């Protein structure tokens, strides 16, 4: 493994550590700042919204001016944001820090581009992408636990830890990372992130898949980010337990992606059947979850739902990418990521309005999935 790849993976490693740490802090942050569960959801909503705006611009800037200079901007901005979150005693200052933190998600696009730059063959490129996402899922398992271990020291202990990591990352980028973009492109920067999405939505081969994918992930957004607050509000689960519950969620996701996907889902079911099975199973499980008040049973059903839910990303991504022209595949992958960001700033805020009014959020999610099932007849015809 060459030096540049090792440094890129190290930066990626440092960059993703804070994501899992942040999640278990949500219930305690609501108490610390004396705000409602709905208000604390804005910490996710604002970050998702601004990362959606920033990511395509940063990607284009790295094509034009180089990856390294853009990455330096990202990591310095991340350090400032984490420092502000660590020091803030006022909730509005904390939210401003989250807005500043919008550049963090841009790091991921730039780092992926850097790995693509140094890959000499298509096979090496695929291996490199697999490596960084393996790291991504591995640390999603470990760091919710770390967040729970840090919280007893102080509500801000996880944020100070994130600040130290951001500082280390800044030094690594400044002193050890070399430029990988040897073919800079002098092009006009498109600041409208919706242009590319709209363009693909006009393409008949992929538009139904994109709409169906968006509808499904819209129903998943809460448990990916706001589930800790839900557990605390609904079942009074203490924050020190929530980190371990979240770790098991990511263990199951990793097990699903690494083992079940190949050994079960794709082995025993056709892609056509998977689209139907996954949608109907999620719909039924959401309805069951809406009526469960006994936490152990709720958790078993919820984990079962997670296994089905995390088949969605790969089967939709495969079909969408395969239906896209080869030179458009990087853009369509960005579109898929952008749709996930959009879902993150739409649905968490809506979910907590429902929670505040004591309305079952799972029934609403089931209704959204039911809307998606309506698309399945047309999608089934398009599948090869």
Q: How many domains does the chain have?
A: 2
Residue 384's pLDDT band (cuts 50, 70, 90): low
**Contacts of 270-273 spanning 24+ positions with Cβ under 8 A:** 271/315, 271/318, 271/319, 271/383, 271/384, 272/380, 272/383
Residues 148, 200: one domain? no
Task: Return the higher-pLDDT residue of 64 and 253.
Answer: 64
Residues 64, 154: one domain? yes
For the record, the structure tokens of 68 come out as: 């390294």
Q: Is 325 left (phi over 0), alpha (psi -120 to 50) or beta?
A: beta
Q: pLDDT per residue over 177-218, tens digit each?
A: 889 888 887 877 777 778 888 888 888 878 888 988 888 887
Residues 107, 219: one domain? no
Residue 187 belongs to a domain: no
Residue 300's pLDDT band (cuts 50, 70, 90): very high
Residue 96 belongs to a domain: yes
Residue 36 belongs to a domain: yes
Residues 102, 232: one domain? no
Instruction: Please determine, for residue 284, whether its predicted confidence score (pLDDT) is greater than 90.
Output: yes
**Contacts of 79-88 spanning 24+ positions with Cβ under 8 A:** 79/163, 79/166, 79/167, 79/169, 79/170, 81/166, 82/18, 82/159, 82/162, 82/163, 82/165, 82/166, 83/163, 83/166, 85/156, 85/159, 85/162, 85/163, 86/156, 86/159, 86/160, 86/162, 86/163
CATH of the domain at 372: 1.20.1250
Residue 285 belongs to a domain: yes
Can you tell me the mean pLDDT for 289-304?
Answer: 93
Residue 256's pLDDT band (cuts 50, 70, 90): confident
Q: Where are the alpha helices (DSSP H) in the chain?
A: 3-22, 26-32, 37-40, 42-65, 67-87, 91-100, 103-118, 122-150, 157-176, 194-201, 207-225, 227-235, 239-255, 266-268, 271-291, 295-309, 312-322, 329-356, 361-382
Residue 219 belongs to a domain: yes
**Gap between the Cα atoms of 353 and 359, Å rounded:** 9
Residues 217, 116: one domain? no
- Mean residue pLDDT of the chain comes to 80
**Which of 100, 54, 40 minimizes the C-alpha distance to 348?**
40
Choose the final residue of a domain: 139, 154, 181. 181
The domain of 285 spans 192-384
pTM here is: 0.72
pLDDT of residue 285: 94
**Gap between the Cα atoms of 251 and 257, Å rounded:** 10
Residues 57, 128: one domain? yes
Residues 171, 252: one domain? no
Residue 40 belongs to a domain: yes
Measured in Å, how far apart are the chain's first and last C-alpha atoms? 38
Give Cα separations from 212 to 202, 308, 317, 345, 368 (angstroms).
Answer: 14, 16, 12, 18, 10
**Gap between the Cα atoms of 40 and 32, Å rounded:** 11
Using the structure block, give the residue that is written with the tokens 């800790």. Answer: 228
DSSP 177: P
Kindly tell me the burial class for residue 126, based on how many C-beta atoms sit within 10 Å of its own C-beta (0-12, 13-18, 19 or more): exposed
Give Cα separations from 332 to 85, 210, 327 (angstroms).
Answer: 33, 10, 10
Residues 201, 123: one domain? no
Residues 232, 123: one domain? no
Choose the final residue of a domain: 123, 148, 181. 181
Residues 167, 201: one domain? no
Residues 121, 227: one domain? no
CATH of the domain at 118: 1.20.1250.20
Choose the final residue of a domain: 155, 181, 207. 181
Residues 137, 69: one domain? yes
* Helix 329-356 × helix 207-225 angle, to 10°: 50
Residue 186 belongs to a domain: no
């Amino acid at each position: 493994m060459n030096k540049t790849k090792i440094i890129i993976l190290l930066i990626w490693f440092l960059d993703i550590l804070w994501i899992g740490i942040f999640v278990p802090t949500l219930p305690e942050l609501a108490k610390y700042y004396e705000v409602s569960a709905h208000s604390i959801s804005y910490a996710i909503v604002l970050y998702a919204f601004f990362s959606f705006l920033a990511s395509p611009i940063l990607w284009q800037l790295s094509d034009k001016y180089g990856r390294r200079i853009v990455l330096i901007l990202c990591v310095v901005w991340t350090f400032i944001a984490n420092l502000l979150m660590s020091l803030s005693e006022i909730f509005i200052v904390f939210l401003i820090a989250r807005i500043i933190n919008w550049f963090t998600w841009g790091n991921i696009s730039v780092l992926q581009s850097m790995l693509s730059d140094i890959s000499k063959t298509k096979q090496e490129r695929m291996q490199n992408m697999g490596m960084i996402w393996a790291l991504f899922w591995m640390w999603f398992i470990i760091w919710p636990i770390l967040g729970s271990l840090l919280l007893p020291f102080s509500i801000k202990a996880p944020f100070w830890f994130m600040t130290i990591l951001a500082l280390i990352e800044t030094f690594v980028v400044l002193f050890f990372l070399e430029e990988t973009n040897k073919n800079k492109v002098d092009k006009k920067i498109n600041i409208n992130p919706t242009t590319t999405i709209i363009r693909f939505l006009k393409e008949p081969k992929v538009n139904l898949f994109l709409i169906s994918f968006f509808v499904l992930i819209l129903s998943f957004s809460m448990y990916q980010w706001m589930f800790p607050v839900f557990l605390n509000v609904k079942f009074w689960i203490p924050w020190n337990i929530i980190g371990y519950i979240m770790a098991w969620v990511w263990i199951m996701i990793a097990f699903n992606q690494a083992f079940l996907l190949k050994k079960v889902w794709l082995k025993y079911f056709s892609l056509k059947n998977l689209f139907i099975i996954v949608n109907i199973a999620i719909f039924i499980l959401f309805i069951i979850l809406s009526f469960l008040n006994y936490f152990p049973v709720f958790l078993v059903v919820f984990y079962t739902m997670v296994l089905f839910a995390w088949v969605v990303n790969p089967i939709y991504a495969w079909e969408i990418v395969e239906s896209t022209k080869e030179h458009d595949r990087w853009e369509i992958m960005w579109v898929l990521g952008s749709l996930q960001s959009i879902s993150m700033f739409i649905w968490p805020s809506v979910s907590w309005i429902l929670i505040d009014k004591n309305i079952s959020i799972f029934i609403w999610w089931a209704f959204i999935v039911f809307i998606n099932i309506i698309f399945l007849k047309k999608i089934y015809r398009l599948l090869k």
